[in-house]
Amino acid sequence: MDGVTANDQEPPPGERTTEPLTQYVQRANQWVRAFDGRHPLLWDLLFTGFWSTAALIDYTGGGWRNVTHNPDAPGPLLLVLSLGLSVPLLWRRTHPARVLLVMAPFAVVNAWSGAALQAALLQLVVIYHLALRQPLRDLWWATALMLTPVVISTARFGEGEWSQQIGSHLTSLGVAVLIGVTVRTRENYTEALEDRARRLETERDQQARIATAAERARIAREMHDIIGHNLSVITGLADGGRYAATKSPERAAQALDAIGTTSRQALGELRRLLDVLRDDEATRPAERSPQPGLTDLDRLVDRVRDAGLPVHTTTEGRAVLPPGRQLTVYRVVQEALTNTLKHAGPGATAKITIAYGDRGAVTVTITDTGTGAGTGAGLPSAAPSGGRGLPGMRERTALYGGTLEAGPRPGHGWRVRLHLPEEPEQ
């Protein structure tokens, strides 16, 4: 059938595969670990109780007589030895070295008396926890402590060869240590992976916050440029239309038409900009209107002229700039002319000089003839507190490794100079 692969088809009922046994073992292991994590004391009590019961059964049931060297060992001694070799297991995880030291005298007495209780093998559990939790150098004295009863038993009762007795016990010790080191290595590896995952998650969240802050800053710059410029143009047109209303109604009507056109353009730009904040981004058609560029400079200058500011433009060289640099040039010119409209005063004029170089290099100079100190295109002192005009221009310029200079001209007026260097060779 179309769209169905062999892997998607279910096997016939008679051919269904059973769940591997390893998955059952893993689930049981996970359940035991989870139970131990929630109730560590209860688990220790169950574990110690089980082995203490086993040791007492070995004593009361007479099973110890099958391997003992001294069948006539007194009962009270066997009882004390059984409990002394099993009850300390309750603290095996928190204090394994101390537990082994506590069990050692009972193991020595067990070997010296010839009782040879199998409960002495529970010391291997403590050796496992030593290898799991303590420095590996502690295993040297622990090994010597474990072999002492073997040496005593072999020397006292002389059963078997020395190499055979010591070799078998060393093998048991080695297995317990190997299991402890393996589990310890796995736990360390798992902790390292979890720590790395936490750090990666933290870095991801930090990168997301940085990206969000950068996007908010970009939107703030664009909104400042769009709203600031268009409101300045509208203000200029409204002032001109008010003066022309009494003398030339036709000029007043033209000013109102220009105000309407400018307002609609500003609203359209704002809608395109704020669309990126909508939640239904994936369900609506993508907005394909390009960002302003060099081809839009003429319309920008015309709007400023309509608002009452005479602007003279001079261009040198051939305009070959990528879209990002074009937007930077456009926004810097827009911001400079907007500030001139706001602050240069009546009778001011502006001049724009654009010099294009090779490989995306460009130098733009905007000057005005505003009256009074601290007025004009840059206007850092007269801008409202927290304004984004000059800082926004500098941020845009810094993206391309350029420089932006803004300051008063000798005598009167203001000058803004933008320079974007050549693009590095790929």
Name all contacts of 393-397 with Cβ < 8 Å and 24+ positions apart. Answer: 393/331, 393/332, 393/335, 393/336, 393/418, 395/217, 395/221, 396/221, 396/327, 396/328, 396/331, 396/332, 397/328, 397/332
d(Cα 225, Cα 389) in Å, to the nearest integer? 8
Q: Lowest mean pLDDT: which of 13-17, 30-34, 44-48, 409-413?
A: 13-17
Residue 376 reports pLDDT greater than 60: no
Residue 328: its pLDDT value, please? 87
Distances (CA, A) of 33 to 25, 28, 43, 187, 352: 12, 9, 10, 12, 75
Residue 410 reports pLDDT greater than 90: no
More confident residue, 284 or 251: 251
Domain 290-426 has CATH 3.30.565.10: yes
Provide the percentage of residues in the chain whose pLDDT is more than 70: 74
Residue 386 reports pLDDT greater than 70: no
Q: Lowest mean pLDDT: which of 3-7, 23-27, 47-51?
A: 3-7
Residue 273: its pLDDT value, please? 63
- The average confidence (pLDDT) of the chain is 79
Residue 289: its pLDDT value, please? 55
More confident residue, 350 or 228: 350
Q: What is the pLDDT of residues 325-348, one digit of tens each?
A: 888 898 889 888 888 887 777 788
The stretches of 75-161 forming alpha helices (DSSP H) are 75-84, 96-113, 123-133, 138-157
- Residues 6+ away with beta carbon under 8 Å from 325: 360, 362, 400, 420
Phi then psi for 366, rounded to 5 degrees?
-120, 120
Q: Other CB atoms closer than 10 Å to residue 183's CB: what's the count? A: 13
Amino acid letter for position 134 = Q
Residue 314: its pLDDT value, please? 92
Secondary structure class of 403 (helix, strand, coil)? strand
Q: Lowest mean pLDDT: which of 78-82, 124-128, 306-310?
A: 306-310
Q: What is the mean pLDDT of residues 88-116?
A: 91
Confidence band of 384 (pLDDT split at 50, 70, 90): very low
Q: What is the mean pLDDT of residues 394-417?
A: 86
Distances (CA, A) of 420 to 197, 259, 290, 300, 393: 42, 34, 22, 21, 12
Q: What is the pLDDT of residues 180-224, one digit of tens each?
A: 899 889 888 988 998 898 888 888 888 878 877 776 666 666 666
Residue 416: its pLDDT value, please? 93
Residue 18: its pLDDT value, please? 54
Q: Lowest mean pLDDT: which of 40-49, 82-91, 149-158?
A: 149-158
DSSP state of 276: G
Confidence band of 40 (pLDDT split at 50, 70, 90): confident
Q: What is the mean pLDDT of residues 373-385?
A: 43
Q: Lowest mean pLDDT: which of 194-208, 231-245, 378-392?
A: 378-392
Cα torsion for 331, 332, 334, 339, to the nearest 10°?
Answer: 140
**Global pTM?**
0.49
Phi then psi for 408, rounded to 5 degrees?
-70, 150
Residue 19: its pLDDT value, please? 59
CB 150 within 8 A of CB 116: no
More confident residue, 243 or 387: 243
- Within its chain, how far is the Cα of 305 from the centroid? 50
Q: Other CB atoms closer than 10 Å to residue 388's CB: what's the count? A: 18
Q: Lowest mean pLDDT: which of 3-17, 201-215, 231-245?
A: 3-17
313 forms bridges with which residues in the sheet?
352
Half-sphere exposure of 89 (CA within 13 A, CB side): 26
Residue 234: its pLDDT value, please? 72
Every domain range in the chain assigned CATH 3.30.565.10: 290-426
